[in-house]
Amino acid sequence: MIRSMEGVRVSTFLTPRAPLSGAASNRMSVALFNRRLPNRPICSASQSDEPRVAESFFRTVLSSMEKVYLSRNPTANAVLDLVRAHNGDHMCYDHFAFRTFGVDGHGIDSMAKFFLDFGYTTREELRFPAKKLKALWFAPPAGHYGENGSGVGGPLPRIFISELLVEEMSPPNQEVIRKYTNISGSGNKHAALASALGSLTWEKPLYSDYQQLSRESEYAAWTLVNGYALNHVTISTHRLNSHIKDIKRFNHFIEDNGFKLNSEGGNLKVSPDGLLLQSSTIADSTPFNFADTVTESVPRSYIEFAERLVLPQYKHIAEEKIEEFHRREGFEVGNADKIFESTSKEQLTRKA
C-alpha cells in the first residue's frame, strides 16, 4: 500500500502472507519479536529524478556483504560467472542467510534490526531441535519483489537468520561461547557493519576452543570463526531466462561443469507440498589464523539454488504474467535442515 505524505511517497510494504505452519507458540514468538523491533517504512522521493538515498545505502551495504562473501568463496564466484555467461546478466537472489549465537543479544535480533529498519517484515519461525537451532525469515518490501535488475541491484532478497540455542549446549561449550560474546560487548549492535566489513566482533578465537565447539556443534564452530559473515546467497532459478530455470536442469548443468552438490537427503531437497525445490554446493574451506598461532583450514560459505513453483490457485495464469507472489513462499524445515549440512565435515570430506 502506498500513501502520500507531504509530497513524499511512503511505502508500507505489505506482502501476501503464506499461512504460518508453526504452532501457536511460534506465532506468539514472531509477534513478540515484531513488537521488540518495529518495522519502519522506506521513504522515497515522489519525483523519479530525485535520489532514493535510503535504498541506495541499503543496497550498498548488501553489495559490501556480497563482496566479502565472494572474496572468501571461489566456488560461489565461479558458479555466478558460469550462470551469467550462460544466462546473460539477469540473475536474481532468492535469499541471503546468516548464522548467529543466541546469547547476550548476539542472536537473530542483532542482525534482523538492520533489515527491519529498511522495511522488511518478520514472517515465520522454524525450529531444528536436533541441531539446537531456530530461525526466522524476513520478507522484503512488497514493491521490491518484482523489480528489474540483477544480483544485489535486482529484487531484494528474502533474509533467513538462524541462531544457536546456546542454553541447550553443554555447560563447557556455553562457557566458551559466552567468553567470545562477552569480548564482543556491544559488537552485536553493529552486526550488519561487521558483515559488510568481513570482521569478527570478538577477537580471533583459540584453535582449542574451535575444536571443542565443533565436537558438539559444527554450526557453533562455523559461527565462531565466521561471525556475521554471509553464510550463503541463493540464486532464484525460476527467474533465469534460459532452460536452466528448471532446477533439475540447473543441477545437471552445475555438476556437468565440475561442481559438487550437497548430497544430504539427495542433491535436490523438495518440500512436502512439492512446490519449494532447493540445492546447494558444498562450502569452500580456507586457512584461518587462530589466536594461538595455529593455522588450520575452516569451512566458509556455499551457494544455494531455489525454484519456487506456482501455487495451485494460480495455475491458470499465463507464464509471462506470473509474478513472485504467485509462487510458493517461505521456507521448509526439512529442506533447510539438509542445506545446513553444506558446511559439515561429512560434506567437506566428499568435496575433497
- Whether 208 is covered by a domain: the verdict is yes
CATH assignment of the domain containing 244 = 3.10.180.50
- Whether 5 is covered by a domain: the verdict is no
Among 339, 218, 336, 337, which residue's Cα sits nearest to residue 285?
Answer: 218
Higher pLDDT, 193 or 144: 193
Tell me the per-residue pLDDT of 86-128, one tens digit each, with 9 for 90 and over.
988 789 999 999 999 999 999 999 999 999 999 999 999 999 9
Q: Strands 133-139 and 121-128, how do they pair?
A: antiparallel
159-240-18-310 Cα dihedral, nearest 10 degrees? -170
- Whether 14 is covered by a domain: the verdict is no
- Whether 16 is covered by a domain: the verdict is no
Burial 83-113 (b: 16+ CB within 10 A, else e): beeebeebbbbbbbbbbbbbbbebbbbbbbb
Residue 49 has pLDDT above 70, yes or no: no
Question: What's the pLDDT band for 147 if we cut at 50, 70, 90?
Answer: low
Residue 59: domain span? 21-351
Residue 284 has pLDDT above 60, yes or no: yes
Tell me the per-residue pLDDT of 148-167, one tens digit each, with 9 for 90 and over.
789 999 999 999 999 999 99
The whole model's pTM is what? 0.85
Q: Residue 11's beta-bridge partner residues? A: 2
User: Could you tell me the sign of the dihedral formed by the alpha carbons of 96, 215, 300, 295, in that order?
Assistant: positive
Residue 217 has pLDDT above 80, yes or no: yes
Number of domains in the chain: 1
Higher pLDDT, 9 or 223: 223
What pLDDT, on a 0 to 100 scale, did the predictor assign at position 286? 97
- Whether 51 is covered by a domain: the verdict is yes
Question: What's the pLDDT band for 36 if we cut at 50, 70, 90?
Answer: very low
- Whether 97 is covered by a domain: the verdict is yes
Residue 249 has pLDDT above 70, yes or no: yes
The terminus-to-terminus CA distance of the chain in angstroms comes to 50
- Whether 6 is covered by a domain: the verdict is no
- Whether 165 is covered by a domain: the verdict is yes
What pLDDT, on a 0 to 100 scale, did the predictor assign at position 143? 72
